[in-house]
Amino acid sequence: MMTFLTIFLVLVGINIALVAVSLISVSQKAKTPSQKSAKQPTSVIYPLDLLTTSYKKAV
């Protein structure tokens, strides 16, 4: 019969294994340069001009 502590430790072990696999895959993706980002043009970000905008009266 499995106790709460045994079930808890099994779930913690599975969680640690999943985190390790995730971190390994992320580090491998970071080392290889992606071809998609090199082909995409950079988007222009326009600043918001909130201070000089004038509002018209609605009524």
Does residue 10 lie within any of the structural domains? Answer: yes
Q: Tokens 């082909």, residue?
A: 39
Per DSSP, the residues of 6-57 read HHHHHHHHHHHHHHHHHHHHHHHHHHSPPHHHHHSPPPP-PPP--SS--PPP
Question: Which amino acid, residue 42?
Answer: T
**Does residue 48 belong to any structural domain of this protein?**
no
d(CA 37, CA 12): 37
45, part of any domain: no
Q: What is the pLDDT along the chain (59 residues), one digit of tens a residue?
A: 679 999 999 999 999 999 999 999 888 777 766 555 556 677 888 777 666 656 777 77
Residue 20 lies in a domain: yes
pTM strictly above 0.75: no
Residue 57 within a domain: no
Q: Residue 13: inside a domain, yes or no?
A: yes
Domain that holds residue 10: 1-30
Q: Count the domains in the chain.
A: 1
How far apart (Å, rounded) are the C-alpha atoms in residues 15 and 23?
12
